[in-house]
Structure 1
Amino acid sequence: MPRFSNLDDPEYARFAWRRYWRVMGWMAAATALAVVSILGVLFMLHGTVSIHMYIAAALGIGFTMLLTAALMGLVFLSSGTGHDESIDDALDPESP
């Protein structure tokens, strides 16, 4: 039988998700800053080239950074709330 997770408590879950979305907001700002900086460097190095290169670079950098932040944030959310410890592990000999 699964054990209790802090995410089962609605108030604590609301707190944990608010913290997650606050971190994601900061990461979105950091991503926007990184994209603008890198596009500036690309313009300085290569000058005026196809707009498609700048669009592809912005989308690639932005998507990669935001996806990484989202997945790592979920890992920390799961671990920090005790959700990882609440799973039912059939292979654990000490499991009830």
Structure 2
Amino acid sequence: MSTSHAIPDTRRGRAYRRVMLVAGILSIVGIADHVRALFWRVLSGPPTNGSMGVPQRLIILTGWAIICWCAVRAVRGNLLPPMWAAVTLPILIWTYLLWPG
């Protein structure tokens, strides 16, 4: 496991923490919205043409959860996100965009 680096107390560090605070709030809203949509998708049955299915919703939900976790680490713990989080998010985005249907 790699060590976590602290965010420096500079102008850029404080701006980064503010950006991560906004990202954390947006990720909580995204998580709530996708949990609601996933709940109704499971209850309503198989997806119709043009709508997202359960696997696509789970990919988006995973991305929102990683963003939320990174934001909590930045705002509360004053720590930079690990490298695997920076690599995982683009992979999740491309998986979602290239998903057939």
Instruction: Please say whether Structure 1 and Structure 2 have the same fold, judged by a TM-score greater than 0.5.
Output: no
Larger radius of gyration: 1
Q: TM class by shorter-chain length?
A: 0.3 to 0.5
**TM-score, scaled relative to structure 1:** 0.42
**TM-score, scaled relative to structure 2:** 0.40
